[in-house]
Amino acid sequence: MIGAFALTALLLAAIGIYGVTSYWVRQRTQEIGIRVALGAQRGDVMRLVLRQVMILTLSGILAGCAGAVPLAMALRSLLFGMGPFDPLTFGVIVALPAATSFAACYLPARRAIRLDPIAALRAE
């Protein structure tokens, strides 16, 4: 049951990240069009979008880990068969949200690199 709730939460987070990133790309269509018109490569635009999302993701992961350390110390007596700082657990906790965030922002980033600069500049 806990696994199903965790999977649902991860799916909702991925949908939320996708929606926010897609909105962000749509709002910055003219800026991206200007960058492409001035000679930005597709990789530059892809890095722009991915970097923006991954900075937010990694700051959230760091904040979550900073909160998890005192909580793990407080719950030490309830943990059976593992220590409060199990490297596998913390590794999965860091890798899974990072991979989910990357996958969720990849499609809007791909949409941004296929942007036609003339159509982007004419928009609005």
Q: How confident is the model at residue 25 (pLDDT cuts 50, 70, 90)?
A: confident
Evaluate if residue 80 carries a pLDDT over 80: no
The residue behind tokens 């696994």 is 3
pLDDT tens digits, residue range 27-77? Answer: 888 888 888 888 888 889 899 888 988 898 899 999 988 898 888 888 887
First-to-last C-alpha distance (Å) of the chain: 48
Q: Phi/psi of residue 24, each to 5°?
A: -60, -45
Evaluate if residue 82 carries a pLDDT over 80: no
Our count of domains for the chain comes to 1
Average pLDDT rounded to a whole number, residues 69-86? 79
Query: H or E stretch including 17?
Result: helix 2-27
Rounded percentage of the chain residues whose pLDDT exceeds 90: 14
Domain that holds residue 44: 2-122
